[in-house]
Amino acid sequence: MIAAATYLIDFFLPRFCPGCNKKLLPKEKPVCDECLSSLLVTDEEKLSSEFDKNFSSSNYVDDYFAAYIFEIDKTLQHIIHALKYKKQFKLGIFLGELIGEKVKALNWQFDLILPVPIHHLKKAERGFNQSDFLAKGLSKSLRIPYSTGFVKRTRHTDSQTRLNMKERSKNVADAFKVRKSKKVANKNILVVDDVCTTGATILECAKTLKNAGALRVFACTVGTTSFEQEYATFSQVHLLQE
């Protein structure tokens, strides 16, 4: 009966892979195997470079992991776009589970998973925070609790995409607040977001958590990219819209 219902739903509401737009089978993953295998996996050298560049100058982020390298107009960009702008919530949970399996190998010890929050006005406009679903998937994979209410974004900041590296740090300065300090005090915390470019947002969120008493803060994202690459992506889209 359940199988029949699944096929019936798939007939009327077919699913398509966000990477290649191929129709997915009823029980197939939200991203087809071919697209998953095409994603550029980060190696230790890349991760070390990203940590040194974005986080090593402070003591706020203890370690960083990104599953894949974000490439312009490639599969991962299409997947992230589907999550952020097409309300494919199950895709977010799936990506979180995917990251979770990779995080297990790092042997990080943490007590709580927190998504990087967005401002309530942006959440009202979009209807959701994509990182909430990543956190839910991570929690499911790692069997560690997550919360969406311990940290809030207190300022409606400008989009980071249009800003240079110094402007990004200034834009998110003091943009977060811990709502329940007792819940994060003396805890090791994993912060999750979709893509990391300069690390400014994650760094500010980690700073807020450390100032509230968190012992260690780890960070993970689906993808990592450079400032130059993200700016090129923005410029490419902007030109297409003109």
pLDDT in tens, 38-84: 999 999 999 999 999 999 999 999 999 999 999 888 999 999 999 99
Under the banding of pLDDT at 50, 70 and 90, the label for residue 166 is low
Under the banding of pLDDT at 50, 70 and 90, the label for residue 119 is confident
pLDDT value at 191 more than 90: yes
Q: Which residues 6+ apart lie within 8 Å of 75 measured at CB?
A: 19, 20, 35, 38, 39
pLDDT value at 163 more than 60: no
Question: Can you spell out the DSSP letters for 113-178?
Answer: EEEPP--HHHHHHHSS-HHHHHHHHHHHHHT--B-SSSEEE-S-PPPGGGS-HHHHHHHHTT-EEE
Rounded mean pLDDT, 184-196: 96
Least confident of 56-70, 137-151, 197-211, 225-239: 225-239
pLDDT value at 237 more than 60: no
Q: How many CA atoms lie within 13 A of 49 on its CB side?
A: 10
Average pLDDT, the chain: 86
State the pLDDT at residue 5. Answer: 47
Question: Are 19 and 75 a contacting pair, CB within 8 Å?
Answer: yes
State the pLDDT at residue 165. Answer: 57
pTM summary value: 0.86
State the pLDDT at residue 22. Answer: 95
Dihedral of CA atoms 131, 135, 137, 143 in degrees, nearest 10, equals 180
Under the banding of pLDDT at 50, 70 and 90, the label for residue 204 is very high
pLDDT in tens, 17-41: 999 999 999 889 999 999 999 999 9
| Identity of the amino acid at 210 | K
